[in-house]
Structure 1
């Protein structure tokens, strides 16, 4: 664990979301050529933005994209993820992280994707966290 920069927000969110959605949904940081075989998939990626206070508090901007076979299914799952992140993640504690304020502006929206056999819906979240100890 680095002294500054707090927690591995991608790893923590992947594990936290995987526990929420269960084994029927794949949660990961990168998509690959087998994406069509792994629907639905939630992709979690920290953006090169945000910052920290130089001590322990991290403000991460994180893209969360949902890939599904239909637009309606992708929108529904993205809405469910948004609800969990905004209502249940603040105050949550994992083995490595304590989560604080979470915001999303705007809410999830359809995002283009080059493969027309699937649909992508995503949002960017601002998530505050710090290490447990």
Structure 2
């Protein structure tokens, strides 16, 4: 097996979520000045936390923020993302990663954002993965 942590969880989740969300949604790791014109957007960022467990699985804590034009739309999309992560991601494979257990650390909730023309709902998930062997 490759070294623990050798899977870029952010990149793999971005690609996986983009396939789930479809072409009308932008999925990315960073937001920029074009955000208002690229709604809805899902932002995926690994936190500086987590580690590995006794089975040498990478345990990542990942923040997922949803940006949308209204509170209701942001809440609805964040709920969809949560459903995908909790029910569809465990056992999923990409070309380089296998995903295991997924749990919610902090459920979707409104988060402040300086641009009042959009709304942000964020959640934090614990996601186990390992490289494809």
TM-score range, shorter chain: over 0.9
The residue that corresponds to 2:25 in the other structure is: 25
3-state SS of 1:76 partner: helix
Superposition deviation, residue 54 in structure 1: 8.1
Residue correspondences, number: 132
TM-superposed deviation, 1:57? 1.1
Alignment match, 1:37: 37
**Structure 2 unpaired stretches of 5+:** none
TM-score, scaled to structure 1: 0.95
CA distance in 1, matches of 2:114, 2:126: 27
8 Å Cα contact 1:5-1:56 kept in structure 2: no
Q: How does 1:1-133 map to 2 (within 5 A)?
A: 3-53=3-53, 56-133=56-133
> Does the aligned pair in 2 maintain the 1:59–1:128 contact within 8 Å?
yes
CA contact (8 A) 1:6 1:56 kept: no
Q: 1:94, 1:47 → 2: CA distance?
A: 21
Q: Is the 8 A contact 2:4 2:130 kept in 1?
A: no
For 1:48 and 1:34, locate their aligned partners in 2 and report how far apart those are by CA, in whole Å.
26
Report the Cα offset of residue 4 of structure 1: 3.1
TM-score w.r.t. structure 2 length? 0.95
The ranges of structure 1 where at least 4 consecutive aligned residues each deviate by more than 2 angstroms after the TM superposition are: 53-56
Structure 1 residues not aligned, in runs of 5+: none
